[in-house]
A and B are shown apart, each in its own frame.
Chain A
Amino acid sequence: MVNDLGRKLAKLAFEERGADMLLVMREEHGNVVPAMVPKGEDLGDVRLDIPYQLITILENIYPWVSKGRIAIITRRCDEKALAELVKRKYVDDKRIVRIGLACSEDQIRRCRCEDPVPSKVDLGEPHAAAKGDELISRLEKMSQQERLEFWAGQFKKCNKCFGCTLNCPVCFCDDDCVLEDRTFVAEPSVPPGLSFHMIRSYHMIDKCIECGECERSCPAEIPLLTMRKLLAKDMKELFKFRPGDEKTVSPLNTTLEGEQLEDGCDEC
C-alpha cells in the first residue's frame, strides 16, 4: 500500500520529471529501508524522516545501473554532494532527477546546518539555518593544549570501523584509500592514532559538503562534523572556496594564479 507521500513522489518523479526509477526510503519489517523502486511499482510506505545517505548508496550502485534516469531525494547537502560527483564524472548529470527535500527544524539543529534549503523545494517546508555550532564556540575559547586534549580524548575512542569513510558521499578513493595504507596508519592500530584523523580531515577539506553522515555513523560519537565545519571555515578564509558547486575547481587543483592544473589526480 502506498501512502500519500508515496503518491505525491511517484507523480513528481515518474510523471512530471520522466524518471525510470526512484531511490527513496520506506517502511518495511518495522524499519526504514532504502529502496530503489522502478517506475510502475508500488512505492509503499515512504518515510523521509530518517536521514539515510542516499548519495552514497547511489554512488555504490551507479556502476551497475547502466541505463535509465534515476530520481533521488536531495536535501541541500545531497545537491552539493551530487555536484562533487558530477564534477568528477562519477555520475552523469543527465541521468539524475533531483527531488528537493527541505530538512525539518529538528534535523537542521542536529546538523548545526547553515545552508539547509535545496535550490528547488519539492517536499517539506523550508526552515531557517541553525545559529552555529555550540562546540565550535567552546573550542574557540580553549587554549591550544586544551584543544589537543579534547580531540585526543575524542579520537582515542575511535575503533577504526571506517564508517566515516564508507558512508561518506564524497569519499572517492575506493580501493586505494590512504587510511588503509600501512605507511600512514601503522599496526597495531586500535585506536588508529591522531594521524588517521588528521589525514582524513585533510583529504575531505576540498570535498566535504557537511552532510554529517560521518558523525551519525560513528559508534564512538566523535563530533566529526564539527571538525569538518572548522576546516571548511579555514578553507574559505584561505582560498574563498566551498565545495558543492559544479562550476568551481578545488584550489588544490589550480596554480597560484587560478589556472586549472592538467593532472587529473587529486592526490599526488
Chain B
Amino acid sequence: MSVEHVLTTCPYCGTGCNFFLQVVDGRLTSVVPCKTDEISLGRLCIKGYNAHAFVQHPDRLKNPMVREKGQLVKASWDQALDRIVKALKEIRDKHGPDSIVLLASAKCTNEENYVFQKLARAVLGTNNVDHCARLCHASTVTGLLYSFGSGAMTNTIPEFDGADCILVTGSNTLEAHPIIGSRMLRAKEKGAKIIVVDPRDTPLSRISHIHLSQRSGTDVAWINGMLKVIIDEGLADEEFVKARTTAFEDLKKVVESYTPEKVESITGIPKEKLVEAARLYARSKKAMIAYAMGITQHSNGTDLVKSIANLAMATGHIGKESTGVNPLRGQCNVQGACDSGGLPNLYPGYQRVDDEAVRAKFEKAWGVRLSPTPGLTLTRAMNDAMAGKVKAMVVFGENVMVSDPDLNHVEEALKKLEFLAVTDIFLTETAKMADVVLPAACYAEKDGTFTNTDRALRMLRKAVEPPGEARADWIIACDLGRRLGSKGFEFSSPADIMAEMATVTPIFAGITHERVDGKVLRWPVPDKDHSGTRILHVQKFTRGQGQFAPIEHTPPAEVVSEEYPFILTTGRNLFQYHTGTMTRRSPKLEREAPEPYVEIRGEDAKKLGIADGDRVSVSSRRGSITLKARVTDKIIEGTIFIPFHYAEAAANRLTNAALDPASDIPEFKVCAARIERA
C-alpha cells in the first residue's frame, strides 16, 4: 500500500497554481491544495480541484493508430512512427520543407516545446512551427515587444494584493483565472479600487467600483479617451515620460480629438464614467492593468495592446511594484510554449530567426543549416493548406477543429492535406481526421516545467504511469527526430533538455530543474546565481526607451448589417475549459455546465420572441449552429455571447478568421450574427 502526495502544476489556466495529486496505489484519488505555494496560497478553483478527474478516464488513448482503408486501426509504435517518417520524407522531398507545418502545444512542457521546434527547424528544415498562442496572445507578443521590448506580464501575480487600483479589461478574471481573481478580491478588501471595462457583466464587474460597458470592437476609442483626459488634466507622469519614453508628442496629437463626447458616441460609455475611471487610474499610486482575450482577439489586436501600453507609460504605472501591463495567459504553458520557441519567427527566448548572428548561434549549437525565413503562422497555415501549398501537418496536443476560427474552413483545409499526424491524450475532433494518431502522456504522467503567466517556472512531477502504451510527448518527438536521421535528440530526461535549452536561451540561462525544484524563479534568469526577475523594465525598458504608439480607432473587420444585426462575442465559462477535451470528461465540471448556450439580453430576446431556454439558431456569414438561449441582463443590447467549449455547437463555426496584420491573431471577439428561434 502506498499513499503519495505529488506536488505538481495545474493543467488548466496560466495562473500556474501548484497542488498535490493524491495517489493511492497508482490510483489518482483527489487534488489537495498546497498551502505553502506562493501563487495559489493553498486555494484552488473548481477546475483545479477536478484536475485529477480526466487523467484515468477510460476514453484515454492507449495505443497508436493508423488509417487503413479510411478507418483508424490499432498499430504498434514502430508502424505508426515509421508511417509518419515515411510521409514526411516523401512530402519534404517532393514539395520542400516549407510544405510541412508542425503545431507545438501550450499544454506541453517547455522541454517538449523546445524539442518540437528543434524537430521542425533542425530536422524538417522549416520554421513552420506555431501553436495556439496565435489564437490568444499573439498580439500581446507583437504589441508589447514593440512598446516595451518584452511580450510578457511585466509584474507578478502576488503583486495584485498590493495595488491601489486595478483596471481589468477584456478579462473575465474570476471565471477564467479564478485564483488571480481572488488576488483582486484581496486587494479590494484592502481598499483598492477595481475598474472593469467589458461589454459583459462578469462576476468581477458586479463587485467593481466602476464598470464601463463598451461596444465590442471599440477599445482604442476608450483608451484614447482616457489618455486625453489624463493629458488634459495634467495627470500624466511628465517626468517618467520624459526620462523613459519616446514619441509621446505623436500620441498627444492622435488622442487630442478623442473627447469624452466622441468616445461616448463610439463606445457607448457615458462620458462622466470615462472621466472618473481615467482620473482614478491616473491618480492611484500603484495601478495595475490586467487584460486578456477581450483586447487581443481583434483584427487590430496588436494596436490595442500598444494602446494599453500607452496608458501605462503615460501615467508612469510601469516598472514599479504593483503596477504594469499584465496580460493574463490562458493556458498552463502558453507562456512557456512561446518562451521555448514554438513560434514561426522566433527561436527560444524570443530570438529572431531572421537575425543572422542568432541563426549562426543556433546552427552551431545544433550542427545544421537553418532556414532564414520566418515560417507560417497557425492561421496562415490553414489558408495555405486550403490553397494546397501546405501538404502535411504534425500536431502535438492541439484541437484546431474546435479552437480555430471559421471551423468549416479549417475542416476543409485539413481534408486537403496529404498527411496529418496528431498526438493527443484523447481522440479529439482533430485526431479523428488524422492519418496517424499517437497516444500521449498527460500532465500527471511526466516531468517537466511550465512557465505560468507571470514568467515563473513551475515544476511538473510524474504522479502516475501513462495508460496503455501512451508516451510523453518529448519521448515521441525525440524518437521522430532520431528516426528522421538526426543526432540531436539523445535526451535522457526533461532536465537534460532544459540543460541544452539554457545554453542557447539567454533568458533561461540560469535555469535548471534543480534550481526550479525548491524555489519560484521568474525569467529572465541570466545566470546560475541570479534569483530571477519579478518586475520587468525597472531601470529601463527591455528595448531601451518605452515606445508610444499613436493609434486611431478603426471599426472591426465585420460590422453589423440588416441581415446580421448582432455582434457575436465568444469566451469561456468557469466550469469548462477550451475545447472541453479534459473538462467535459470531468463529471463534476460537466455537471455544472453541460450544454452550449447563447447569452442574449432580455430586451433583445423579447423583440425576437425568444424565451429563456428556447432552442435558437445563431448564424454568421460562415455557418450556423443551434443551441439554447440564456436570457440575461448580464450582456449589453445588440451583443450576444457564446462560450466556445462545445464541439456540438461550436462557436467557432461562426467566428471570423479576419487577422490582425501584425500578429495574425483572428478576430474571435467580434463578428456579425443573426439569432432566431430554431
Contacts and interface: CB of A to CB of B under 8 A. Distances in A.
Whether chain B is bound by chain A comes out as yes
Contact of A220 (B20, B29, B185, B519): B185
B562 interface: no
Contact of A217 (B25, B42, B207): B42
Q: By CB atoms of chain B within 10 A, which of A50, A57, A219 has the most? A: A219
For chain B, the bracket of interface size reads 35 or more
A64 B29 contact: yes
B25 A64 contact: yes
Contacts of B18: 31
Interface in A57-77: 57, 60-61, 64-68
A161 B189 contact: no
B558 interface: no
A28 interface: yes
Contacts of B585: none
B400 to A, nearest CB: 29
A139 interface: no
Given A52-B35, A159-B178, A180-B591, A64 B27 contact: yes
B45 A159 contact: yes
A61 B24 CA distance: 7
Given A161-B178, A217-B42, A35 B5 contact: yes
Contact of B35 (A50, A189, A220): A50
Interface in B310-337: none
A218 interface: yes
Interface stretch (A114-122, A162-170, A253-261): A162-170
B459 interface: yes
A160 B574 contact: yes
A156 interface: yes
A30 B515 CA distance: 10
B518 A61 contact: no
B182 A216 contact: no
Q: By CB atoms of chain A within 10 A, which of B181, B185, B206 has the most? A: B185
A41 to B, nearest CB: 11
B46 A219 contact: no
Contacts, number: 119
B492 interface: no
B43 interface: yes
Nearest to A180: B591
Interface in B1-50: 1, 3-5, 7, 18, 20, 22, 24-25, 27, 29-30, 32-37, 42-46, 48-49
B518 A30 contact: yes
A167 B174 CA distance: 21
Interface string B401-444: 00000000000000000000000000000000000000000000
Nearest to A64: B24
B574 A57 contact: no
B99 to A, nearest CB: 45
Interface in A216-238: 216-221
A28 B33 CA distance: 15
Nearest to A157: B185
B371 interface: no
Nearest to A53: B32
A36 B459 CA distance: 22
B186 interface: yes
B189 A221 contact: yes
Contacts of A61: 3, 22, 24, 29
Contacts of B35: 32, 50-52, 216
B592 interface: yes
Given A157-B207, A188-B632, A219-B44, 10 more contacts: A32-B36, A61-B24, A157-B185, A160-B574, A161-B44, A163-B43, A166-B49, A189-B592, A216-B42, A219-B182
Interface of A: 28-36, 50-52, 57, 60-61, 64-68, 153, 156-157, 159-163, 166-167, 180, 187-191, 216-221
13 contacts: A30-B36, A31-B7, A32-B35, A33-B7, A36-B3, A57-B32, A65-B1, A66-B1, A156-B206, A161-B45, A162-B49, A187-B593, A221-B182
